[in-house]
Amino acid sequence: AQSVTQPDIHITVSEGASLELRCNYSYGATPYLFWYVQSPGQGLQLLLKYFSGDTLVQGIKGFEAEFKRSQSSFNLRKPSVHWSDAAEYFCAVGGSNQGGKLIFGQGTELSVKP
Amino acid sequence: GAGVSQSPSNKVTEKGKDVELRCDPISGHTALYWYRQRLGQGLEFLIYFQGNSAPDKSGLPSDRFSAERTGESVSTLTIQRTQQEDSAVYLCASSLRLAGGYEQYFGPGTRLTVT
């Protein structure tokens, strides 16, 4: 079955510290992978996506993610977290055989300490 | 506004009543999706539309849920005889094409509370 697992429900980091949010997926074909961010009262915003090619992808707001096929992972990273990064982060998988629908993980809530 | 809009933003209804949720996609986007987000959960796919093709209804949880879309414009999600477990945020998204490679742009959602 196709699924996305985000093992960490809640993470707290200090402002300026580095961040890594984990995402593992199960998908039968070549996956398209996404990270979205949801701030309170806001809609989901796409941070970055992977379709093919370079396995390290850069996104907005200084985020990056690395696709590791052997580990079925697509972890999100940021070298230095800002207080404004506090939000809910969702990893999602889709593919050419799914007609565009996305399967989402349960989300990781990020809190940032001053 | 160039984004996806949804109305109402909040809806409180009594158990057993019918509700209609509306989505206005980005102009020119041929694909439209509905998702449900229960409290503390990720998004669950409900249905998508692509132009005049038959919609993919595989995610609708029961026959109380239905959705319509006229051409490439507005979509309405209808929930009949609402139940408390229907309480959730309902999100609409649109994309330029129906394919995995196209970014989905999400609306702000409709928060439905069934009392």
- In angstroms, rounded to a whole number, what is the distance separating the alpha carbons of residues A86 and A93? 23
Query: Measured between beta carbons, which residues in chain B are less than 8 angstroms from residue A46?
Result: 103-105
Q: What is the CATH number of the domain that holds B54?
A: 2.60.40.10
Instruction: Give B72's DSSP letter.
Output: T
Residue B49: pLDDT over 70: yes
Q: Is residue B108 part of a domain?
A: no
Residue-level pLDDT at B67: 97
Higher pLDDT, B31 or B21: B21
Residue A93: pLDDT over 80: yes
Q: Which 20-49 residues of chain A touch chain B by CB within 8 A?
A: 32, 36, 41-46, 49
Residue-level pLDDT at A21: 98
What total of structural domains would you count in chain A? 1
Instruction: Give B3's DSSP letter.
Output: S
User: Which two tokens mark B74?
Assistant: 């507005």
Amino acid letter for position B89: V
Residues in contact with A70: Cβ distance below 8 Å, sequence separation at least 6, in sequence order: none
The CA dihedral of A51, A60, B34, B26, to the nearest 10 degrees, is -100
Yes or no, beta carbons of A100 and B107 under 8 Å apart: no
Band (pLDDT 50/70/90 cuts) for residue B97 is: confident
- In angstroms, rounded to a whole number, what is the distance separating the alpha carbons of residues B46 and A22? 26
Residue A95: pLDDT over 80: no
Question: In terms of CA atoms, which chain B residue is nearest residue A97?
Answer: B100
- In angstroms, rounded to a whole number, what is the distance separating the alpha carbons of residues B114 and B64? 14
What total of structural domains would you count in chain B? 1
Across the range A54-82, mean pLDDT stands at: 96
Q: State the DSSP string of chain A.
A: --EEE---SEEEEETTS-EEE--EEE-SSPPEEEEEEE-TT--EEEEEEE-SS-SEEE-GGG-EEEEEGGGTEEEEEESS--GGG-EEEEEEEE-TTTTT--EE---EEEEEE-
Band (pLDDT 50/70/90 cuts) for residue A94 is: confident
Picking from B97, B100, B105, the nearest residue to A98 by CB comes out as: B100
Residue-level pLDDT at B42: 87
Q: Is residue B114 part of a domain?
A: no
Band (pLDDT 50/70/90 cuts) for residue A101 is: confident
Please give the span between the terminal C-alpha atoms of chain A, in angstroms, as a whole number: 41
Q: Is residue B109 part of a domain?
A: no
Q: Which residue segment(s) compose the domain that A45 sits in?
A: 3-113
Across the range B105-110, mean pLDDT stands at: 93
Band (pLDDT 50/70/90 cuts) for residue A30 is: confident
Band (pLDDT 50/70/90 cuts) for residue A27 is: confident
Residue A23: pLDDT over 90: yes
Q: Is the dihedral of CA B98, A102, B68, B26 positive or negative?
A: negative
Residue-level pLDDT at A98: 66
Q: What is the CATH number of the domain that holds A40?
A: 2.60.40.10
Across the range A63-89, mean pLDDT stands at: 96
Q: Is residue B113 part of a domain?
A: no
